[in-house]
Homo-oligomer: A and B are copies of this chain.
């Protein structure tokens, strides 16, 4: 199996109630790759600038991620994002976004990246996502993320791109914004009507819900007493989720596979927010991932034993 991700590789500056970082490795493709690399060989497609160091590239290559298609733009600077989180960590304000090398990025995929079985289009301009999606015509499972910005300023391109993928992974409020629906389940049903196989609503500190044409599956987030930095949580979730699907083989993507994929996504994203940026997931072990999935199972499992209900 092989898994390709296209998206931002970035430097982030963040301020949270726990502290701050002036420049840390980040970006959607980075967080996705670090999580997905537990399951499959990941190929990352995206541009970086002259300022992207060998040590940054080494983190990106954790657990064998292939960086052949990370394009270094001579004279360019790496994408930069800066943000500040509110006290309760569920709201954040973007302070600075410098597209830099992303401004004129034209994704060029090697044959190996194009031949992927599974493709993830991380949050970038929907036109770029569509161009990559078209190059990976043989992928058996294609998932994508997006954000409120594109819903507002590139609605038609986003709609066209969504209709070419199998699975949309989006924040619950963005699903409602995209469709105008009053509830997330109603938004998801509308999107499934466009021909998608699955829609995943990311619910921040509350967990995530998966909608398929016939059913739903939901898990709460792993309860953490201390959250240091939520940056990249959604992309770590997507990495665990899509990575598990990629590793589950080339058979039918069953409900059981998708449910387990949800658990791996939630487990890895819960580690992501325990420290700044990629710090925690870069040194995460397979045993720790498995232990948290087991915890999550114990914390959600119940048996609906018969009780004599009064009529």
Q: A residues near B, CB below 8 A?
A: 17, 37-40, 63-64, 87-89, 176, 182-186, 189, 203, 205-207, 209, 211, 215-221, 223-227, 244, 247-248, 256, 259-260, 262-264, 285-286, 289-290, 293-294, 296-311
Nearest opposing residue in chain B for A207, CB measure: B220
Which 7 pairs of residues, A with B, have the shortest CB-CB distance?
Answer: A286-B309, A218-B220, A206-B206, A259-B302, A185-B223, A186-B225, A185-B225
B38 near A302 with CB under 8 A, answer: no
With A88-B176, A309-B39 given, is the CB distance from A294 to B290 under 8 Å?
no
26 A-B interface contacts by CB (under 8 A): A38-B310, A39-B307, A39-B310, A40-B310, A88-B176, A183-B205, A183-B225, A183-B227, A185-B223, A215-B299, A216-B223, A218-B220, A218-B221, A218-B223, A218-B300, A219-B302, A220-B220, A244-B307, A247-B307, A256-B303, A260-B302, A260-B307, A262-B302, A263-B302, A285-B311, A300-B300
B309 near A38 with CB under 8 A, answer: yes
